[in-house]
């Protein structure tokens, strides 16, 4: 699977570890940041979100200090359904019921939990059915803008 990944300075450490972890079985493109020097999370959230929205990448992963800011920024891009991966179960349902295409994390979450959530996020598929109607309603709002 082709995966876009990015972080701000607070997520740089986990991003580096996730790239190493995922590169064995996936094609990964790192959209930055490339150091722990202070930077702004929206810059990297937008790069990853635009790459996923273009469908050049099937899924995206974003990491920042809280997981919240980078998630909010990514969701500003039409076609993106970013969720915070609080747990493997949350990551699973973000895809299964909401067709999430980007998962976001805080570097303050335990790395073992993040890896479990990433593995689940990448392995499940959208159920469709009754959930499709709800996801389609989000597209309607996007198109009104």
pLDDT single digits (tens) 74-120: 999 999 999 999 999 999 999 999 999 999 999 999 999 999 999 99
Average of per-residue pLDDT values in the chain? 94
Contacts 24+ apart (CB under 8 A), 123-129: 124/92, 124/95, 124/96, 125/95, 125/96, 126/95, 126/96, 126/97, 126/99, 127/96, 127/97
| 3-state class (DSSP) for residue 122 | helix
Contact (Cβ atoms closer than 8 angstroms) between residue 91 and residue 121: yes
**Bridge partners of residue 3, in order along the sequence:** 28, 59
- 82-84 and 27-30: which strand pairing? unpaired
Return the active site residues. Answer: 64, 97
- Full-model pTM: 0.93
The two structure tokens encoding residue 56: 């050049």
The percent helix, strand, coil of the chain (3-state, each to 5) is: 50, 15, 35
Q: Dig out the tokens for 101 from the structure.
A: 């295409």
pLDDT digit string, tens, across residues 34-44: 999 999 999 99
CATH number of 2-144: 3.40.1400.10
Domain range list for the chain: 2-144
Kindly indicate the confidence band of residue 140, based on its pLDDT and cuts at 50, 70 and 90: low
């Amino acid at each position: 699977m082709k995966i876009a990944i990015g972080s701000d300075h607070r997520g740089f450490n986990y991003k580096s570890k996730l790239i190493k972890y995922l590169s064995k079985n996936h094609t990964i493109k790192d959209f930055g940041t490339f150091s722990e020097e202070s930077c702004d999370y929206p810059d990297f959230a937008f790069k990853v979100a635009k790459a996923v929205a273009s469908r050049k990448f099937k899924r995206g992963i974003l990491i920042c200090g809280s997981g919240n800011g980078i998630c909010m920024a990514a969701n500003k891009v039409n076609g993106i359904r970013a969720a915070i991966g609080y747990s493997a179960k949350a990551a699973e349902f973000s895809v299964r019921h909401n067709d999430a295409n980007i998962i976001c994390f805080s570097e303050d979450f335990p790395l073992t939990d993040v890896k479990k959530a990433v593995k689940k996020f990448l392995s499940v598929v959208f159920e469709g059915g009754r959930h499709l109607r709800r996801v389609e309603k989000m597209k309607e709002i996007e198109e009104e803008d």
